Amino acid sequence: MKRILYLFAAAVLALSACTKGADMVGGHDSVYYTSGGRYMMHIADDLIAGALENLEIACEMDRTEVTWASRFPGMKIEKADENLWHLSFEGLFAFDNQSYQTEFTMTAARLNENKHADWDVTLIGSRTEREGYRCTFESLGAITYQALDTNNGWNLLYGRLSMLVFDKDGKKDGCLLQLDGAPSQAQFVRGL
C-alpha cells in the first residue's frame, strides 16, 4: 500500500512539473494565470509567430503580400536585405475569437537557413477594442524565436514585450512580458 501511495505521489509531482505555468515558484505572476499575461502571450504567439509563419510561406513563394487564406490578409512583406524583412498589417485580427482592429509593423531578421528558421523580431503595434479600450505594444529590443528540434512552431523565446492599456479616460495599465526560454517560463508584470 505504501508503495502505491509513493508511486501516486511521484506521478502527481511529475505531472505538476510538466504543467504550463506551474514550473516555477516565486518571481512574478505566470502568464497563464492572469488575463493580461494571456493577452500578451496572444501577441507573442498568435500575432508575432503567426506573422513569421506567413513570412516563411511568402519567402518560399517569392511573394510580397499575403494573398492566400490567412489571418493576415493583405499583410505587406518587403525584403530589405539578404536576411531581413519588414512586415506591416492593418485590419481585423482575432485573439480568443474576438476580432478587433489591429495594426503593426515588424522587422524580422532570419538567423539561419533552416526551412523553419530562427528569427530576431522587433515589433510596434496597436489594437482598438470595445468600449474605448485600446492598447499599444512593442518589443524592447529584439525578441528571438528559436525552433529547437521542431519544424512546427518555435519552442524557445527570448526578449521583452511591453504593452500600455488605455480607456477613454487615459492610461489604465503598463505591462511587461519577459520571455526567457520555453513559453511556460514567461513572466508577466503589470502596474508599470
What's the average model confidence in pLDDT over 70-84?
95
pTM above 0.85, yes or no: no
Question: pLDDT averaged over the chain?
Answer: 84
What does the alpha-carbon distance between residue 125 and residue 90 come to, in Å, rounded to a whole number? Answer: 10
Q: In the predicted model, is pLDDT for residue 140 greater than 90?
A: yes
Provide the pLDDT for residue 114: 78
Q: In the predicted model, is pLDDT for residue 30 greater than 70?
A: no
What does the alpha-carbon distance between residue 36 and residue 191 come to, in Å, rounded to a whole number? Answer: 11
Torsion 139-87-40-129 (CA) sign: positive
Between 22-36, 45-59, 75-89, 127-141, the lowest mean confidence (pLDDT) is in 22-36
Q: Which residue has the higher pLDDT, 150 or 24?
A: 150
Q: In the predicted model, is pLDDT for residue 151 greater than 50?
A: yes
Q: Which residue has the higher pLDDT, 161 or 35?
A: 161
Q: In the predicted model, is pLDDT for residue 39 greater than 50?
A: yes
What does the alpha-carbon distance between residue 89 and residue 58 come to, in Å, rounded to a whole number? Answer: 14
Provide the pLDDT for residue 6: 38
Q: Pseudo-torsion of CA 78, 140, 126, 116, nearest 10°?
A: 50
Percentage of residues of the chain with pLDDT beyond 90: 67
Provide the pLDDT for residue 116: 82
What's the average model confidence in pLDDT over 12-24?
37
Provide the pLDDT for residue 8: 35
Provide the pLDDT for residue 21: 40
- Neighbour tally for 19: CB within 10 Å: 10
Q: In the predicted model, is pLDDT for residue 126 greater than 90?
A: yes
What does the alpha-carbon distance between residue 36 and residue 31 come to, in Å, rounded to a whole number? Answer: 8
87 DSSP β-pair partners: 77, 106
What's the average model confidence in pLDDT over 130-138?
94
**Helix (H), strand (E), coil (C) string for 117-172:** CCEEEEEEEEEECHHHCEEEEEECCCEEEECCCCCCCCCEEEEEEEEEEEECCEEE
